[in-house]
Amino acid sequence: MIDLRSDTVTRPSPGMRAAMASAAVGDDVYGEDPTVRALEERTARLLGHEAGLFCASGSLCNLLGVALLVPPGAELLCDAQAHVARAEMGAHAALHGVSVRTWRGDSGVTTTGDIAGMLQPDAGPFLVSTAAVALENTHNFGGGTVQPLAHLEEVSALCRDAGVALHLDGARLWNAHVATGAPIETFGHLFDTVTVSFSKGLGAPVGSVLVASAERIARARVLRKRLGGGWRQAGILAAAALHALDHNVARLADDHAAARAFAGAVAERAPGAIGDVPTNIVVIDTGAKAARDVAAAAAARGVAVSALGEHVLRAVTHLDVTASQCAEAGVVVGELLGAPA
Ligand SMILES: Cc1ncc(COP(=O)(O)O)c(C=O)c1O
């Protein structure tokens, strides 16, 4: 099976497993795991923030990051297709009383003017007040879209001027960094809280880090423990993330090329099915065909892709597939889409 359902399906390499096996560890709830601390400090430094908190998932980092910025009963603004709105099981509302209001972007990107028109930091006694905005870079359901840096800078300035906080879901910020060549820190300093993941394109088995000010991270540590997310000898997992930082960032360019190879093979056989392919995620329009049927037929031919909507498929390239496998998978999907209904 050529598995293109997600970049989360990778298995740790022998080198990564060796790093995990030899990691120095301690009890992280006591703050005594040296490998966890090294990862938190390194990630915070990379993003230009004071402190970091290693968590089991990107969802947990987003949950904590947003809770630091939005008090119960206030609102978070984000894209309608944002992971925080669509794929975190309503946790922000269910657990922290956060109200979410969304804009409808184009492949996950909107204009600064649209966000400005929605900000209501002081909404008075009848409407919900805006406490924070969340952006996603790259944008998963938007198709691996890279947010233009100028837009991020404008939104950051807008929010700072309005007294509204700004969170970045940067689960795949590494991909944006490689696609644009902009240093990671260039993105980091524009936001109050940032999530980055190691378990997606970077190939670690588990883990994300939330970065923010030291005061905010101290509060996040309490919130994480409250949610049952305190962990002990997590250095075994942090070692995998550190190994990923050392070895797997620059090579994301290969995943981007493999995504283009996949998309090219689909487009040759099914013109119009594919839009832009800025990073490692390809969104495929199945036209009149049901995405679920196409995904099932592709699986029967050895290619796994995700049905994300009635007529939308998603393919994601990663460490464990080669460019030629991706091109081969693109032929299969393209043939299925190009065949008469
Ligand atoms: C953009 C984005 N943010 C957050 C997450 C959540 O990460 P996790 O699966 O580690 O909770 C994902 C997962 O795919 C994602 O795509």
Q: Is residue 83 lining ligand 1, measured as CB closer than 6 Å?
A: yes
* pLDDT at 11 (0 to 100): 98
Residues 285 and 199 in one domain: no
Residue 143 has pLDDT above 90, yes or no: yes
Q: Is residue 314 lining ligand 1, measured as CB closer than 6 Å?
A: no
Residues 169 and 272 in one domain: no
Residues 200 and 257 in one domain: no
User: What average pLDDT does the structure give for the chain?
Assistant: 98
* pLDDT at 145 (0 to 100): 98
Helix (H) or strand (E) holding 145: none
Residues 101 and 238 in one domain: yes
Q: How confident is the model at residue 92 (pLDDT cuts 50, 70, 90)?
A: very high
Domain that holds residue 121: 14-247
In angstroms, the CA 37 to CA 104 distance is: 39
Residues 148 and 266 in one domain: no
pLDDT digits (tens, 9 = 90+) for 216-260: 999 999 999 999 999 999 999 999 999 999 999 999 999 999 999
Contact yes or no for 171/200 (Cβ under 8 A): yes
Residue 4 in domain: no
- Residue bearing tokens 């990862």: 39
In angstroms, the CA 215 to CA 237 distance is: 25
Residue that terminates a domain, selected from 247, 282, 307? 247
Distance 91 CA to ligand 1 centre (A): 13
Q: How confident is the model at residue 116 (pLDDT cuts 50, 70, 90)?
A: very high
Residue 2 in domain: no
Close Cβ partners of 6 (under 8 Å, ≥ 6 residues apart): 200, 306, 316, 318
Q: Which of 277, 23, 245, 244 is nearest to 144 (CA)?
A: 277
Residue 202 in domain: yes
Q: Which atom of ligand 1 is nearest to the CA of 60?
A: 11
Q: Ligand 1, residues 7, 78, 140, 175: which to mutate, most atoms within 8 A of Cβ?
A: 140
Distance 59 CA to ligand 1 centre (A): 6
Contact yes or no for 158/112 (Cβ under 8 A): yes
* pLDDT at 216 (0 to 100): 98
Q: Is residue 137 lining ligand 1, measured as CB closer than 6 Å?
A: no
Instruction: Please state, for a pLDDT cut of 90, what percent of the chain lies above it.
Output: 99
Residue 158 in domain: yes
Domain count, the chain: 2
What CATH code is carried by the domain that includes residue 308? Answer: 3.90.1150.10
Residues 179 and 312 in one domain: no
Residues 213 and 274 in one domain: no
Identity (one letter) of the amino acid at 91?
A
Instruction: Please state, for a pLDDT cut of 70, what percent of the chain lies above it.
Output: 100
Q: How confident is the model at residue 341 (pLDDT cuts 50, 70, 90)?
A: confident
- Residue bearing tokens 């190939």: 203
Distance 35 CA to ligand 1 centre (A): 23
Residue that terminates a domain, selected from 247, 267, 284? 247
* pLDDT at 186 (0 to 100): 96
Q: Ligand 1, residues 200, 224, 318: which to mutate, most atoms within 8 A of Cβ?
A: 200
Counting other chains too, the contacts that 17-20 makes at CB distance below 8 Å and 24 or more residues apart are: 19/239, 19/240, 19/242, 19/243, 20/236, 20/237, 20/239, 20/240, 20/243
Distance 31 CA to ligand 1 centre (A): 25
In angstroms, the CA 229 to CA 232 distance is: 10
- Give the mean model confidence (pLDDT) for residues 108-119: 97
Residues 166 and 300 in one domain: no
Q: Is residue 58 lining ligand 1, measured as CB closer than 6 Å?
A: yes
Q: Which atom of ligand 1 is nearest to the CA of 136?
A: 1
DSSP 8-class letter at 234: T
Q: Which atom of ligand 1 is nearest to the CA of 82?
A: 1
